[in-house]
């Protein structure tokens, strides 16, 4: 059985999803989670793109052990030098150089000839080899590249020292059968192909990224490039959780394995959803809330008789539990820690007391506590920086209390109390079109910033009439967008926390 390398690009390609940008602290949390998940390669960013990207790649490279850390670079010397500098302290560094090879890109973007295209690819790989022995080359828009030219490029870059060659479907144009044929053609026509790992990186514009990646594996590819929750430009990338579970569940077809610890898929998915603010649809395969839910009477009857009648995977294999969390206000720390471990989180001596304190508060407010409630408590504390690596925003404004009086056709009357460090501020207003607007106007006056809300999202994180509300906001300040996140059984409180969280990010 072959082992397929899982190359995760959530921190680079995934972050290019509109609204999905992450700060340094969040990237480090995701990188740690990816290593614990068992991914082979983490693409930490595009070092030359900005000082922030360079800092992120460098921080991940300096911190993460166990996975290869990769930086993207064009086949340009300054790009490669920046990647090498950012990766210089990595335990397992990889420089990932790319160059477009299709006639469309050669003619309109690069304005180059086929011969010069090959020369530039070889020059990029050779220059990268001066800094690092693990070099990946990507032939951008490979699925729209003439097969003869692609074969010449692949052979040339392997001769130049590329250890991995990526054949990306950059615009999500290819079908599974076309991807299979393309990869097979490379194996049949490129004489030195056994000296490198062939990789696939497929976009989801036609909804076939996972299918085309599976076809690539069947044809002989040894690496799949993907992202948590399928994040990425436009319609996204191949979903890591879907490709991994497809390979595992249908090992009879693909006869391959990965190093991914699948029981951590759910917790990693939820972490990424929390830090990016891009929520997972309920019907999302593998990690969606409905992925293992059965409402049909016929299905329920079958499940009661034997789970395999309607489930092709065990929920436990990806981190779900079949039973709800039997914890209440009389439960102790040991029980909470044990359940958290089952859900994919090891609560260390620093985090456990904080989670337990918040759990006790929640138990006094909620009659029924579910697994989702525990997960969101842990994720909220991590998101706020109260564990591991505290982000800057955790030290700013915080919510204290509010008193709100609302009536139809009348402006809300609000008394809001918030705190900066040890200093408390109270604001009384009679303004706004409803309670949330009043909260926002009061915060704007207290913090003294010209801000506006671009997007406001609220959803329930568990079941029941006393479920917690999870609020995500996008706030505009001087043309820049900042994301905020808040959770509470009180939606107004959650909204206040989310707006303050966004304000704190403004530095």
Query: Which among 43, 46, 94 has a CA at the least distance from the CA of 74?
Result: 46
Distance (Å) of CA 384 to CA 34, 60, 457, 493 = 19, 20, 18, 15
Which pair of structure tokens corresponds to residue 119? 């020369």
CA neighbours closer than 13 Å in the CB half-sphere of residue 13: 31
**Residue ranges of the domains in the chain?**
2-276, 293-320, 323-390, 394-504
Are 26 and 44 spatial neighbours (Cβ–Cβ below 8 Å)?
A: no
Query: Which among 386, 341, 270 has a CA at the least distance from the CA of 25?
Result: 386
Q: Are strands 164-169 and 135-140 parallel, antiparallel or unpaired?
A: parallel
Are 228 and 272 spatial neighbours (Cβ–Cβ below 8 Å)?
A: yes
Q: Rounded distance, CA 269 to CA 143, Å? A: 29
How many Å is the maximal CA-CA distance in the chain? 78
For tokens 């299905």, the residue is 299
Bridge partners, 418 (sequence order): 399, 425
Question: Could you report the per-residue pLDDT of 110-157, keeping only the tens digit for each?
Answer: 999 999 999 999 999 999 999 999 999 999 999 999 999 999 999 999
Show Cβ contacts of residue 455 under 8 Å, excluding neighbours closer than 6 positions: 19, 472, 473, 474
Give CA 426 to chain center in angstroms.
Answer: 37
Q: Rounded distance, CA 391 to CA 27, Å? A: 11
Are 6 and 40 spatial neighbours (Cβ–Cβ below 8 Å)?
A: yes
Bridge partners, 477 (sequence order): 451, 480
Give CA 292 to chain center in angstroms.
Answer: 22
DSSP 239: B
- The architecture CATH gives domain 394-504: 2-Layer Sandwich (3.30)
CATH of the domain spanning 2-276: 3.20.20.70
Q: Rounded distance, CA 390 to CA 393, Å? A: 8
Query: Which among 200, 228, 202, 206 has a CA at the least distance from the CA of 20?
Result: 228
- Stated pTM of the model: 0.76
Per-residue model confidence as pLDDT tens for the chain (507 residues): 899 999 999 999 988 887 778 889 999 999 999 999 999 999 999 999 999 999 999 999 999 999 999 999 999 999 999 999 999 999 999 999 999 999 999 999 999 999 999 999 999 999 999 999 999 999 999 999 999 999 999 999 999 999 999 999 999 999 999 999 999 999 999 999 999 999 999 999 999 999 999 999 999 999 999 999 999 999 999 999 999 999 999 999 999 999 999 999 999 999 999 888 888 888 899 998 777 765 455 554 565 566 677 678 888 888 876 544 457 777 778 878 877 887 777 888 888 898 888 888 888 877 667 676 787 788 777 766 554 433 333 458 989 999 999 988 899 999 999 999 888 999 999 998 899 999 999 999 999 999 999 889 888 776 666 677 889 898 999 888 888 888 888 899 999 999 998 998 886
Q: Rounded distance, CA 376 to CA 273, Å? A: 11
Question: Could you report the per-residue pLDDT of 369-402, keeping only the tens digit for each?
Answer: 767 678 778 877 776 655 443 333 345 898 999 9
């Amino acid at each position: 059985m072959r082992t397929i390398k899982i190359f995760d690009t959530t921190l680079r390609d995934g972050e290019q999803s509109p609204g999905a940008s992450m700060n340094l602290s969040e990237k480090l949390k995701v990188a740690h989670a990816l290593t614990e998940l068992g991914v082979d390669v983490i693409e930490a960013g595009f070092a030359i793109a900005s000082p922030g990207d360079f800092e992120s790649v460098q921080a991940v490279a300096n911190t993460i052990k166990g996975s290869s850390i990769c930086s993207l670079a064009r086949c340009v010397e300054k790009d490669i030098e920046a990647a090498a500098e950012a990766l210089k302290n990595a335990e397992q560094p990889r420089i990932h150089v790319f160059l477009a090879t299709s006639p469309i890109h050669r003619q309109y973007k690069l304005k180059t000839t086929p011969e010069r295209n090959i020369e530039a690819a070889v020059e990029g790989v050779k220059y990268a080899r001066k800094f690092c022995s693990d070099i990946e080359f990507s032939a951008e828009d490979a699925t729209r590249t003439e097969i003869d030219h692609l074969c010449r490029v692949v052979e040339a870059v392997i001769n130049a020292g590329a250890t991995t060659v990526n054949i990306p479907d950059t615009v999500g144009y290819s079908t599974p059968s076309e991807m299979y044929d393309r990869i097979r053609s490379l194996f049949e026509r490129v004489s030195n192909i056994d000296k490198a790992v062939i990789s696939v990186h497929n976009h989801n514009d036609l909804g076939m990224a996972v299918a085309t990646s599976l076809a690539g594996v069947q044809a002989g590819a040894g690496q799949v490039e993907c992202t948590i929750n399928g994040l990425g430009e436009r319609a996204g990338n191949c979903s890591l959780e879907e490709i991994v579970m497809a390979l595992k569940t249908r090992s009879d077809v693909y006869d391959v394995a990965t190093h991914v610890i699948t029981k951590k898929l759910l917790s990693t998915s939820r972490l990424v959803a929390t830090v990016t603010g891009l929520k997972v649809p309920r019907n999302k395969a593998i990690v969606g809330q409905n992925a293992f839910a059965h409402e049909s009477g016929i299905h329920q009857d079958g499940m009661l008789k034997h789970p395999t009648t309607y489930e092709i995977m065990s929920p436990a294999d990806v981190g779900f539990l079949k039973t709800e969390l039997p914890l209440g206000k009389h439960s102790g720390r040991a029980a909470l820690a044990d359940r958290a471990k089952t859900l994919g989180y090891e609560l260390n001596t620093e985090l456990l007391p904080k989670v337990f304190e918040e759990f006790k508060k929640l138990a006094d407010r909620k009659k029924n506590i579910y697994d989702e409630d525990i997960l969101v408590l842990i994720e909220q504390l991590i998101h706020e920086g109260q564990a591991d690596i505290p982000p800057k925003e955790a030290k700013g404004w915080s919510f204290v209390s509010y008193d709100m009086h609302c009536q139809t056709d009348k402006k809300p009357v609000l008394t809001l109390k918030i705190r900066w460090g040890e200093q408390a501020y109270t604001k009384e207003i009679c303004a706004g079109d409803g309670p949330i607007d009043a909260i926002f106007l009061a915060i704007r006056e207290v913090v003294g910033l010209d801000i506006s809300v671009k997007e406001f999202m609220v959803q329930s994180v568990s079941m029941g009439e006393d479920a917690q509300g999870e609020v995500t906001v996008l706030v505009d300040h001087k043309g820049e967008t900042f994301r905020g996140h808040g959770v509470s059984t009180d939606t107004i409180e959650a909204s206040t926390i989310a707006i303050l969280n966004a304000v704190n990010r403004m530095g």
